[in-house]
Structure 1
Amino acid sequence: MTLFEKIWDKHVVKTIDGGPSVFYIDTHFIHEVTSPQAFNGLNARGIKVFRPKQVVATADHNVPTLNQHLPIKEELSRLQVEALKKNCAEHGIELYGLGHPYQGIVHVIGPELGFTQPGMTMVCGDSHTSTHGAFGSIAFGIGTSEVEMVLATQCLMQSKPKLMRINVEGTLNEGVVSKDIVLYILSKISASGATGYAVEFAGSAIRALSMEARMTICNMSIEMGARCGMIAPDETTFEYVKGRKFAPQGKEWEEKLAYWKTLYTDKDAKFDAEVNIDAADIEPMITYGTNPGMGVGVTGHVPALNEIDEKEKPSFQKAIGYMGLEAGANIKGTKVDYVFIGSCTNSRIEDLRMVASFVKGKHKAKDVEVWIVPGSKQVEKQAIEEGIDKIFEEAGFMLRQPGCSACLGMNEDKIPAGKYCISTSNRNFEGRQGPNARTFLASPLTAALAAITGEVGDIREELKFKSQN
């Protein structure tokens, strides 16, 4: 059996002939955007939340990242956050809201608090729930009507997806990190290349990654069209989970650990599709278009028209027109106006450490605005304790407060129309970071370099210069 099948079979309550399965959900994450309508549905039917102890709530999408002690300025955002407070109080759900030491982006706090564990099924009304699959769990986003279904029954109706394995073998080159791996995969298979599949990421390059790096990869599996992304748990996983606030303790830990060690794909297991990647082929990546699959190495160029399939030309031309780029143009040297380092993809402590280690002793370009947004209060606290905030301050950056921030134009942190932002987030859709904002997706290292130089560059050149001096 594959890793996916082992977990799937354990959670199927009932299979309907010729139809979907009744699928049990271990942990349900909720936030302020997709939960209000679901609670309204429950209230209209006079139904209480079935298992409130298995629901984890936080406020993240609509929260400001400055002056969180003050009332939220944007009315819709304020109403959604207030609705979440009210609904959690009425239904007995623990809420990690503004002011709580555990508040943060839902896909950051789940793992850091120990809610996310191998072998689990996890859902949230948020597409990037796939992040939690880095622990060897089945985790996926759901719609608002499904949020209501899980709140009411702790189950969902689900059809089993096809299975794909993406193997990344070998050693990464200097300056290449997990975000580059996933952007490279996307550039090869496209933003629809894994549609209908549950994807397992495997291979020596994946096994060599830290848990936080693995989360970055699984976070963006949804950008390939995948139902979910997974990585088999191993000693790196177990060490990360051990001792966290809501992780198993004592005898329960030993029992869980014994089960977790059975969660791997058997050698004779079959996948519907396999993709093989050589880690040595990956260079620092950046997107040029309006979906995450439109990416190239930073030394590459926007494709020329003769490199694009005839049927893809209209959408390609629309995308580069929106981005204000020319077909065939080099990406390197493109000026940027904003740098955003944050989101559920790259806002963990390792990301902030990576950026701080590079920018220490440097200062940002004068015409670039830099937003550093930690993924949680715990990440913020750790960054302050380690003096990372001071390094950022000296570089002309500002460590803001936790939230989804400029990943999406749903709060106060929007990129102005026509401006270029190099972002560590997961989506570069038209208007994603604000009406008519233009987004380049990249790794924290590539974003940090742009903050210092004011343009897209190759981090490897900087690292080579540093090693020579």
Structure 2
Amino acid sequence: MGQTLAHKIWDAHVVRTVDKHTDLLYIDMQLLHEVNTPQAFEDLRAADRAVRRPELNLGTEDHNTPTVSLDKTIQDPAGRRQTSLMRSNCEQFGIPLHRLGEASQGIVHVIGPELGLSRPGMTLVCCDSHTTTMGAFGALAFGIGTAQVEHVLATQTLLGQRPGDMLVTVTGQLDAGVTAKDLVLALIAQIGTGGGQGHIIEYQGEALRELSMEARMTLCNMSVEAGSKAGLIAPDDVTFDYLAACPGMPTGDDWEHEVAYWRTLRSDSDAVFDRYVTIDASSVVPHASWGTNPAQSVPLDGRVPSPDDFHDPADRIAAERALAYMALSPGMAMRDIAVDTVFIGSCTNGRIEDLRAAADVLRDKRVHPGVHLLIVPGSARVRARAEAEGLDKIFRAAGADFRPAAGCSLCAALNEDRLRPGQRAASTSNRNFEGRQGKGSRTHLVSPAVAAATAVTGCLTQPTDL
């Protein structure tokens, strides 16, 4: 019987089998950020251990970093200390670090691909659940906890239980104006936030082959919102063309040798998955979330559901609580939901393609006077490219607040970018949990194009409505 891609990569990295379900894996690359790493380094020192392979670890400053200025002091004392510890820890242990203001700084899941660190067949980990982003390259990438960060630092290995395999086949093609963000919201609405639990989701199908690398990253990024350990897409020519432009890639015969190997990284035709899901791409339309988790999403031309629409008692109770928190009424048209803030950014939708999509909508238009449109690039490279293409001029002419510094910003709300209680946002980020964007905040997840159109009208809007 054939193997799935996930287990081909897993088996290639087994250092030792511990028992029937657990293996010790070699980790090709660990990415670090300032929030979840201080304790790992402290435990490393307490045990008098060194970092096994400093060059296979890379740090960046992203969660706490101010976005209003490159030289602004972090206001929050805890955030300021976390960043200070990140700098001193990386210096002490010889780990490369991209600081705020440097040309390669940015959100960890954005700079990993930009710097050519995410390659097919690799194992990548980070102390952040959205590490699944890099599965778009045919890499086994997933988030880990602080204790596991220390283990990887000390040994460049990690204990892991073999996950199950889940195949999501996307048939047909996405219609014009429908994005990877809409696709993944539709998928999570279909299978639920626990639909992928205990599994690695592999995406296949005609629609996937048509997606750009940045769109594939969006899809894999939000795979964790379905409860999966990782998202995975087999590498193809789209992948190789993207990687060829990244720094540090081999050239000549070495490049051809790498590509020849990467082409072997796909699930065998007779591989058996533990679960199968099929979604018709032509049925997917622009989506927006109405509740407090990504599964509580509906088509933008739909209506807010009633708790009575849910047969499962737990889903019914969750809907009642979500409607109360979001201050929405059943039957309300999604397009009638007014917002006062729009956020375009995050590791989900803060790349150059996302900013281009927003600029296409905002060109020659003005942001609604009652809306604050905040646009934060996912990395310093994204910001520089946006400026080189003149996207910043389009944003500012429209009345948007285009920030000069990159970071997680309003997605994590760990810096000064946060909503006040009762404020409502259309956001291109990945989570709409209670209080995610600030205590008492209300979040509607949307694509960059829908976010930009919403900023123009003040209500949830798709570009064709303009």
TM range (shorter): over 0.9
Query: For 1:178-233, what per-residue CA distance to the aligned partner results, in whole angstroms no more than 9, with x for missing partners?
Result: 10000000111111111111000110111100000000000000000000000010
Aligned to 1:189: 191
Shift of 1:248: 2.9
For 1:225 and 1:207, how far apart are their aligned partners in 2? 24
Letter in 1 for 2:328: L
- Structure 1: tracts of 5 or more residues without a match: 463-469
Report the equivalent of 2:204.
Answer: 202
Name the amino acid aligned to 1:351.
Answer: D
SS in 1 for 2:342: strand
SS in 2 for 1:391: helix
Q: Please report the TM-score for the alignment, with normalisation by the length of structure 1.
A: 0.97
Q: Percent identity?
A: 48
- The answer on whether the counterparts of 1:299 and 1:458 sit within 8 Å (CA) in structure 2 is no
Q: Distance in 1 between matches of 2:395 and 2:329?
A: 34
Instruction: Tell me the number of residue pairs that the alignment of Structure 1 and Structure 2 aligns.
Output: 462
Deviates more, 1:239-248 or 1:8-17: 239-248
One-letter identity of the residue aligned with 2:156: Q
Cα separation, 2, equivalents of 1:30 and 1:408: 16
SS at match of 1:406: helix
Letter in 1 for 2:380: K
Where do 1:44-83 residues align within 5 Å? 44-83=46-85
Deviation at 1:461, TM superposition (A): 3.2
Paired letter, 1:340: F
| Range that drifts further, 452-461 or 340-349 | 452-461
2:195/2:226 contact within 8 Å kept: yes
Aligned to 2:463: 459
Q: How far off is 1:2 after superposition?
A: 1.2
The answer to whether residue 388 in structure 2 is matched with residue 389 in structure 1 is no
Alignment of 1:193-272 (within 5 A): 193-272=195-274
- Name the residue aligned to 1:408: 412
Note the aligned Cα RMSD (angstroms): 1.0
Residue range with higher mean Cα deviation, 39-48 or 242-251 = 242-251
In structure 2, relative to structure 1, the CA distance for the partners of 1:306 and 1:40 (3 Å cut) is: same
Q: Does 1:101 align with 2:103?
A: yes
CA positional deviation for 1:19: 4.4
Higher mean C-alpha displacement, 321-330 vs 229-238 = 321-330
Opposite residue 437 of structure 1, the aligned amino acid is S
1:375 equivalenced with 2:378 (yes/no): yes
Once residues 64 and 22 of structure 1 are traced to their aligned partners in structure 2, the CA distance between those partners, rounded to angstroms, is: 38
Task: Tell me the amino acid that sits aligned with residue 268 of structure 1.
Answer: D
Counterpart selection for 1:323 from 315, 321, 326: 326
Deviation at 1:416, TM superposition (A): 1.2
Are the aligned partners of 2:308 and 2:316 in contact in 1 as well (CA < 8 Å)? no
Aligned-partner Cα distance in 1 for 2:187–2:317: 23
Deviations 1:138-183 (A, max 9, x none): 0000000000010001111101101001011112122111100000
Displacement of 1:6 after TM fit? 1.2
Please tell me the residue identity of whatever aligns with 2:324. G
Preserved contact between residue 66 and residue 73 of structure 2 (Cα < 8 Å): no
Return the letter of the residue paired with 1:304.
S
Q: CA deviation at 1:247?
A: 2.6
In the alignment, is the contact (CA less than 8 A) between 2:342 and 2:425 conserved in 1?
Answer: yes
* Distance in 1 of aligned mates of 2:145 and 2:455: 36
Range with greater deviation from structure 2 (437-446 or 73-82)? 73-82
Q: Within 2, Cα distance between the matches of 1:46 and 1:218? A: 37
**Cα distance, 1:38 vs structure 2:** 0.3
In structure 2, what is the equivalent of residue 466 of structure 1? none
Q: Can you give the 5+ residue segments of structure 2 that lack an aligned partner in the other structure?
A: none
So what's the TM-score if we normalise by structure 2?
0.98
Q: Does 1:297 align with 2:302?
A: no
1:182 aligns to what SS in structure 2? helix
CA contact (8 A) 1:172 1:280 kept: yes
Alpha-carbon distance in 2 for matches of 1:415, 1:446: 20
Distance across 2 between alignment mates of 1:225 and 1:2: 19
Moved over 6 A (4+): none
SS of the counterpart of 1:422?
A: strand
Farther off after superposition, 138-147 or 393-402:
393-402
**1:161-176 paired onto structure 2 within 5 Å:** 161-176=163-178
Cross-structure match for 2:93 = 91
Distance 2:181 2:245 in 1: 27
- Tell me what 1:467 maps to: none
Query: 1:221 & 1:454 partners in 2: Cα distance?
Result: 29
Q: Distance in 2 between matches of 1:111 and 1:160?
A: 25
1:252 is paired with a residue of what secondary structure? Answer: helix
Q: Is the 8 A contact 1:136 1:231 kept in 2?
A: yes
CA distance in 2, matches of 1:165, 1:30: 29
Task: Answer whether contact 1:288 1:296 (CA < 8 A) is retained.
Answer: yes
Residue number in structure 1 paired with 2:358: 355
Tell me the amino acid that sits aligned with residue 428 of structure 2.
T
Residues 372 and 401, structure 2, Cα contact 8 Å, conserved in 1: no
Which amino acid counterpart does residue 9 of structure 1 have in structure 2? Answer: D
Distance 1:56 1:250, change over 3 A: farther
